[in-house]
């Protein structure tokens, strides 16, 4: 393990919070992170005063209100969300579906916005819940446009699950299927993340070669006839391309101003 500086150690403390472990005692934190008690309490004091963690009546710690405040600010400032919102609203008004906007960062996929006029359409991944890297149209859309250096470790780490969902039993088979998805411009997955739901997703770029997220539509399986999926897929691809074009223009403008 490389030696971490103080900032990295504080961030590592925040990173332990997860859906299956929402509250941590000091003893659990020391065991998980290897920090001494004085170091841990110093970091907790910094985070608590800034509002990033809060102490609980049980004696443990949970995430604090500053996280909610930052989430509000992100919704107001995120150009990806601003450019995607009209497309999401248009899809929700046209089909009995849910429109999802997903961010790709590090090795995580995270829903950052959704729009639906079909409340009965179940979605197991609301805003803020990470998505798996090895299942679903969203994951497949991202993987289809990654370069081989970034893609091969993901394939190796998820080989069994990729084979289970029919993507391929070896690396070459997976790569071949992903090339087919890349040529088509959108990925389709049935019943992989939420039972009874078909996902259709296309990658979003901001002027770089690595995707920053996806635009995705989920629709009930009984409504997902092949011709409907194809029509939605083409529209999803067009929406993702429009969002990408706008983000790339912003980047060029920013680069021009700084040069």
Number of other residues whose CB lies within 10 A of the CB of residue 190? 16
DSSP string of 140-155, one letter each residue? HHHHTTS-HHHHHHHH
Instruction: Give 248's Cβ-side CA count (13 Å radius).
Output: 13
Q: Where are the alpha helices (DSSP H) in the chain?
A: 6-15, 26-33, 37-49, 65-77, 79-94, 137-143, 148-157, 159-164, 171-184, 226-258
Global pTM reads 0.83
Question: Which residue in 78, 104, 68, 77 sits closest to 216, CA to CA?
Answer: 104
Segment 17-30 mean pLDDT: 94
pLDDT at 99: 93
**Looking up tokens 């394939």, which residue turns up?**
155
pLDDT, tens digit, 9 for 90 and up, residues 58-103: 999 999 999 999 989 988 889 999 999 999 999 999 999 999 999 9
If one compares 52 and 131, the residue with the highest pLDDT of the two is 52
b or e along 146-174 (b: 16 or more beta carbons within 10 Å of the residue's beta carbon)? Answer: beeeebeebbeebbeebeebebbeeeeeb
Contact of 24 with 14, CB cutoff 8 Å: no
């Amino acid at each position: 393990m490389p030696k971490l500086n103080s900032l990295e150690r504080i961030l590592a403390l925040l990173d332990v919070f997860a859906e299956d472990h929402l509250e941590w005692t000091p003893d659990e934190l020391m065991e998980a992170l290897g920090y001494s008690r004085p170091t841990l309490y110093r970091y907790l004091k910094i985070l608590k005063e800034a509002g990033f963690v809060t102490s609980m009546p049980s004696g443990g710690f949970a995430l604090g209100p500053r996280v909610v405040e930052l989430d509000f600010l992100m919704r107001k400032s995120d150009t990806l969300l601003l450019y995607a919102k009209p497309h999401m609203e248009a899809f929700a008004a046209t089909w009995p579906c849910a429109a999802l906007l997903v961010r790709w960062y590090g090795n995580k996929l995270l829903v950052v916005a959704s729009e639906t006029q079909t409340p009965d359409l179940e979605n197991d991944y609301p805003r803020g819940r990470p998505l798996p890297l090895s299942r679903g149209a969203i994951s497949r859309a991202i993987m289809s446009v990654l370069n081989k250096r970034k893609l091969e470790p993901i394939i190796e780490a998820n080989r069994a699950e990729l084979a289970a969902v029919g993507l391929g039993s070896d690396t070459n088979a997976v790569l071949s299927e992903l090339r087919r998805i890349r040529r088509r411009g959108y990925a389709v997955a049935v019943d992989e993340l939420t039972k009874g739901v078909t996902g259709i997703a296309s990658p979003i770029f901001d002027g770089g070669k690595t995707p920053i997220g996806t635009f995705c539509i989920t629709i009930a399986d009984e409504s997902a006839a092949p011709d409907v999926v194809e029509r939605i897929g083409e529209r999803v691809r067009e929406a993702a391309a429009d969002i990408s074009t706008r983000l790339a223009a912003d980047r060029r403008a920013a680069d021009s101003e700084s040069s």
